[in-house]
Amino acid sequence: MSRLEFSRKTKAAIIARAAGKCEACEAALKPGGGEVDHILPCALGGEPTIANGRLICRVCHAGKTANDIRSIRKADRSRDKATGAIAPKQKIPGRGFPISQKAAARQPKQQLPYRALFKPVDERNV
C-alpha cells in the first residue's frame, strides 16, 4: 500500500489549527519546527484529511512512529495468519515414551453395569 500524503492546503489548515504548539505535548514550536503527522497511519486505513492530521514536534513524532510501526507489523502478521500466508507452528515430532512391561501386562478395566438415574414411581403406593 502506498503512503497517502497531505495536500499543501490540508497541511496549511493543520498548522493554522495548531497555532504554533505541538498537539501532543503542548510544547511551543519554532516556525518550521513541527511535523504534520497522521493520527491513524495510512497503513492502518488513515486518510490524509484535516481530522486525521496533527502538528507535532520531532520528539513526539519519533515516539509515535515507533509505536505505529509495531502496530502495522502486528496487523501484517495477523492478516498473514488469517490468509494462510504463514503456516501455523508445527508440533515437534517425537518418538514418545516406551510402554513399560508393567503397563503392557495390565488388564483393561471392566465396564460397570448400567445404573438408572431415577427409580420409576409405583402409582399404587402414592
As given in the structure block, the three cell numbers for residue 19 are 497555532
Q: Check residue 97 and report its DSSP letter.
A: P
Domain that holds residue 79: 8-83
The Cα–Cα gap between 38 and 40 comes to: 5
CATH code of 77's domain: 1.10.30
pLDDT of amino acid 126:
57
The Cα–Cα gap between 73 and 28 comes to: 33
pLDDT of amino acid 56:
96
Has residue 30 been placed in a domain?
yes
**Count of the separate structural domains present in the chain:** 1
pLDDT of amino acid 1:
58
> What's this model's pTM, rounded to 2 decimal places?
0.63
Has residue 122 been placed in a domain?
no
Has residue 116 been placed in a domain?
no
Has residue 93 been placed in a domain?
no
Mean pLDDT (10-residue bins), the chain, 126 residues: 87 94 94 93 93 95 95 93 82 78 81 82 69
Has residue 23 been placed in a domain?
yes
